[in-house]
Each structure stands twice: as C-alpha cells, then as structure tokens.
C-alpha cells in the first residue's frame, strides 16, 4: 500500500568523485516514485535551489558524497548545515570516512542526518537509509490520518448521542 501516491520522493545525489552515480542511475531512475537528480558539487546544487525553490518542496533526501578523497569533518558539517538551512525538513545522508566518525560524529542517526561509512557496502546502506526515511515519512502520514479519523469518529459519536438523548427527552 503506497501512502504517498501523489508525492514523489526527490533524491539529490551530490557526488564529487562520481563514485555512486552509475549505481543510483541503475537503481532509482526508472522507478516512478523517485525523482533522482545528480550534481557534481554542493555549489551547483545550492545554486539550483536558489534558482528554482518551488521544485525542492516536499519530501527530499540529499546524499552527500563529498570530500571522500580528503577527510574534513568541518567542511562536511558546513555543507550539511547549509543544505538544512535552505531546505527545512530535508533528510541528509552523509557518506564519510571512518576517521570522521571516530573523531566527531556522536551518533550515526542524528535528527534528519544519517552518517554512513564509505566502504564496499555503502550503496546497500544508502538504499536501506532511503527505505528507512520513506518508512518514517509514511508513519507520520499514517499518524496524521489516524488522528483525523479519530476526531471524525468522536465527533460523529457525540452528535449522534446528543440527538438520541434530546429525542428521548422531548
């Protein structure tokens, strides 16, 4: 059962070294529920966001594969903060070195940021992270729908019991 039938999940891959571009193109481009876009740098992605902000509303995932040749925790943190500032509510998957995780990242999942170590299982872990984010979004939608249905049920029950009581009294 698809809970997001009219919304597509936008996946933005920012891959400086073009390590994951072919895998993403093979895995996600042909599916209708994903809209995949590829960027060679964060600057190109940010200029596209500033140029067409209406296209980037809705459910977005940014996969950051930057600075893989040179581990720099501060540069990745700046890029994550910039993307989160321009697109509130975006989910970010950061592909980083083992050294970066050891040195400063406290948790692997922190709010809307997921850190994944760059190794031979990276593509599988990215796929699992995307599925986890999609499940989280669907759970939020189910919760909202449940609250609306509960409110309508209780309102109907209250009105019907009031009508029944007033019809008995008069």
Neighbouring-strand partners of residue 92: 62, 113
93 located within any domain: yes
Best CA proximity match to 93, nearest among 113, 74, 111, 110: 113
pLDDT confidence band for 146 (50 / 70 / 90): very high
Best CA proximity match to 17, nearest among 78, 51, 63, 73: 63
Alpha-helix runs per DSSP H in the chain = 21-28, 42-51, 73-86, 98-103, 122-169
165 located within any domain: no
At residue 60, does pLDDT exceed 70?
yes
Provide the whole-model pTM. 0.76
Q: How many domains does the chain have?
A: 1
Name the average pLDDT for the chain: 80
167 located within any domain: no
Token duo for residue 99: 């050294």
| Number of CB atoms found within 10 A of residue 169's CB | 6
Where residue 48 sits, what CATH number does that domain have?
3.40.50.2300
49 located within any domain: yes
């Amino acid at each position: 059962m698809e809970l997001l039938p009219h919304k597509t999940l936008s996946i933005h891959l920012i891959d400086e070294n073009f390590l994951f571009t072919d895998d993403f193109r093979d895995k996600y481009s042909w599916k209708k529920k994903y809209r995949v876009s590829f960027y060679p740098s964060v600057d190109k992605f940010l200029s596209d966001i500033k140029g067409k902000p209406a296209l980037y509303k809705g459910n977005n995932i940014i996969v950051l594969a930057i600075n893989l040749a040179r581990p720099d925790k501060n540069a990745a943190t700046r890029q994550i903060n910039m993307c989160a500032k321009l697109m509130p509510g975006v989910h970010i998957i950061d592909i980083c070195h083992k050294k970066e995780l050891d040195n400063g990242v406290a948790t692997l999942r922190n709010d809307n940021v997921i850190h994944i170590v760059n190794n031979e299982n990276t593509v599988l872990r990215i796929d699992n992270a995307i599925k986890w984010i999609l499940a989280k979004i669907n759970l939020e939608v189910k919760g909202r729908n449940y609250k609306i249905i509960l409110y309508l049920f209780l309102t109907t029950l209250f009105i019907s019991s009031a009508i029944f009581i007033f019809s008995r009294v008069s």
